[in-house]
């Protein structure tokens, strides 16, 4: 069952990426990378953040890489505003501009449309929808723990600091 399920997930994932590529061909995507989108979504969900806080959210990427992405989104895309801390000029806080908020909303709308296509295709019943929501909630909780995003991990981390 594991191999069968894995194959099915890979297949549906591929189909969703094809649908995404079709959507992006017809929208003004602006050539954003997955990392750019992750930064925009992180700021959309959490509000103002320092570049260090953004970098901490993706431990596989260096601070300088995140800083480069932030600068591109700020300078070229006008999607972020940057503020240097008057107390410590090494600390830069960034937040979404109206254009950045609009960009996140467009990408989220496109994702919602893709998921609607998926749910329409599989004709989910109300009972199946509830089961699926429960499974996804467990997956989100597990990912939050794995990525250090759950509240208990963050509260423990903050009390140690």
CA 45 to chain centroid, in Å, comes to 9
Q: Which residue has the higher pLDDT, 148 or 135?
A: 135
In the chain, % of residues over pLDDT 70: 88
Which structure tokens are listed for 113?
């449309």
For residue range 105-119, what is the model confidence (pLDDT) as tens digits?
A: 998 999 899 989 988
What is the overall mean pLDDT for the chain?
A: 86
- Say what the pLDDT of residue 3 is: 87
The SS3 call for residue 102 is helix
Report the pLDDT averaged over residues 129-143.
93
The SS3 call for residue 73 is helix
Which domains are delineated in the chain?
Answer: 2-123 (1.10.10.10)
Upper half-sphere CA count for residue 112 (Cβ side, 13 Å): 6
Query: Which stretches within the chain are classed as H helix?
Result: 2-26, 34-46, 51-56, 63-75, 98-122, 126-147, 151-160
- Please tell me the distance from the alpha carbon of residue 152 to that of residue 18, in angstroms, as a whole number: 37
How would residue 157 be classed by pLDDT, with cut points 50, 70 and 90?
very low
How would residue 160 be classed by pLDDT, with cut points 50, 70 and 90?
very low
Q: What is the pTM of this model?
A: 0.75
């Amino acid at each position: 069952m594991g191999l069968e399920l894995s194959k099915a997930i890979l297949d549906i994932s591929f189909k969703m990426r094809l649908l995404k590529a079709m959507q992006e061909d017809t929208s003004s995507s602006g050539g954003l990378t997955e990392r750019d989108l992750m930064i925009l979504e992180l700021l959309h969900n959490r509000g103002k953040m320092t570049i260090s806080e953004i970098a901490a959210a993706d431990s596989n990427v260096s601070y300088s890489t995140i800083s480069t992405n932030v600068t591109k989104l700020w300078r070229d895309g006008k999607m972020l505003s940057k503020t240097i801390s008057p107390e410590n000029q090494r600390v830069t806080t960034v937040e979404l501009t109206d254009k950045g908020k609009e960009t996140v909303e467009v990408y989220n709308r496109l994702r919602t449309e893709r998921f609607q296509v998926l749910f329409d295709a599989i004709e989910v019943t109300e009972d199946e929808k509830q089961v699926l929501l429960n499974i996804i909630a467990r997956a989100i909780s597990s990912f939050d723990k794995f990525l250090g995003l759950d509240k208990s991990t963050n509260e423990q981390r903050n009390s140690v600091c």
